[in-house]
Amino acid sequence: MINVLDCKKSNYLSRLKSILEKRRSGNKINSDIAIKIVKDVKKNKQKALLKYEKKFSKNKQVKISKNELSNSIKQLDPKVKNAIDFAYNRILKFHKNQKVKNFKFKDNLNNLFEYKFLPIESVGIYVPANLPSTLLMNAIPARLANVKRIVLANPKQNGKLNSAVLYAAKKLNIKEIYSMGGAQAIASLAYIQKVNKIIGPGNDYVTRAKKEVFGHVGIEGMTAGPSEITIVADKNTNLNEVVTSIIGQAEHDINSQCILITNSQSLIQSLKKILNNKLNAIPRKKIAKKSLLINGLIIKVYNDKQIIDSINEIAPEHLELNLKNYKKLINKINNAGSICIGKYSAMAVTDYNAGTNHVLPTLGSAKYSSGLNVGEFYKKISYIKLSKKGIEVIGKKAITLAEYEGLIGHAQSIKSRIRRS
């Protein structure tokens, strides 16, 4: 069911890159469909939005009323409410530590400089059908950054509103809630609700739609696409912990990626023996099996360098280091969304209530970006007030560079200030 890449062969890294690139390049059919939907909603607004909602979700109304909200929340199991409250407090506590700080200073020429963090005015959050944890992860840092307007897009599941997501929305004081999903939801947030930035993870259609609207609105500085996990284990790692972590990720989506890196042939053989039976025991076994068939991979390594090189090439969304001797690896890992260390640090806990954010870079984007954080919801503006002496001293050097670059208008603009002074 899972392919094995043996690092004995000298070209293993190029083979790994080829495997990863095949998934990262995406499904062209899905991409074309998403682009078509975005363009239609951009042009025809509400009419097009409702057309696709009826087609894909049998949904005839996207705006959720106050009565629908309260009636849905009443149906929620108190245990789930309590779990959401618990997660809320832990996520809030972690993200409160992500403080930003304005600064100002004067240089030796009495020039004044300031750098300010200003909250983005409006944000659209996309939350897949039944994931209240995803709303908490996106909206809590937005609230901490003092974003004034938050708009929620959350598709119905089997024609029903999700009471847990709506409870979380009420707790977060989100007033604008729309029952819509897929590429049409992203287009609506951009062109109908007209938010400044769109965040939140989603499937191929959602990810491609976000790329299509980028420029008209902002999106996260990463690709929050289909889920990924890479697990590093050895002969001493508990087999059941490895298997359950793989299945826990594979059940997300057929496009999820599960990779095991190990130096233990016995672990590989044992995994293959029990994996299918374990998969048959879960409700979403068809999705998980297809995910592992398409994107599952075992990397058989022979030294620490191969482990490090493989991890940094994969740049996984989630990395589990489920082995005792992790310290010799940890400081050499440069590319990962989050790193769970040791046998007790199950990635699944970080999806809910460890406190860290579970909206993380996928598809290799951990090579240049980070998980969602409070800073994602700020604009940064520089303020410059030059003194008379400042324009005279630094202006002359600026004129030299402007003239060298052939931008004579720039030079004249600076000279006019110096003459006046």
Catalytic residues: 317-318
Distance, first Cα to last Cα, the chain: 76
Q: Rounded distance, CA 7 to CA 300, Å?
A: 6
HEC per residue, 291-302: HHHHHCEEEECC
Establish how many alpha carbons lie within 13 A of residue 214's alpha carbon, considering only the half-sphere containing its beta carbon: 13
Q: Rounded distance, CA 258 to CA 235, Å?
A: 19
Q: Rounded distance, CA 123 to CA 172, Å?
A: 14
Answer yes or no: are the C-beta atoms of 195 and 217 closer than 8 Å. yes
Establish how many alpha carbons lie within 13 A of residue 263's alpha carbon, considering only the half-sphere containing its beta carbon: 11
Q: Tell me the β-bridge partners of 6.
A: 300
The whole-angstrom distance between residue 341's C-alpha and the CA centroid of its chain comes to 21
Q: Tell me the β-bridge partners of 298.
A: 4, 260
74-81: long-range contacts (C-beta < 8 A, 24 or more apart)?
74/163, 75/163, 76/163, 76/164, 76/167, 80/132, 80/164, 80/167, 81/167
* Structure tokens given for 331: 């400081």
- DSSP secondary structure code for residue 111 in this structure: -
Q: Tell me the β-bridge partners of 341.
A: 321
238-244: long-range contacts (C-beta < 8 A, 24 or more apart)?
238/322, 238/343, 239/267, 239/270, 239/271, 239/274, 241/322, 241/343, 241/346, 242/267, 242/271, 242/322, 243/271, 243/274, 243/275, 243/278, 244/278
Contacts of 48 (CB under 8 A, 6+ apart): 37, 40, 41, 184, 187
* Structure tokens given for 78: 């108190």
* Structure tokens given for 292: 């592992």
Contacts of 139 (CB under 8 A, 6+ apart): 125, 150, 152, 168, 169, 172, 174
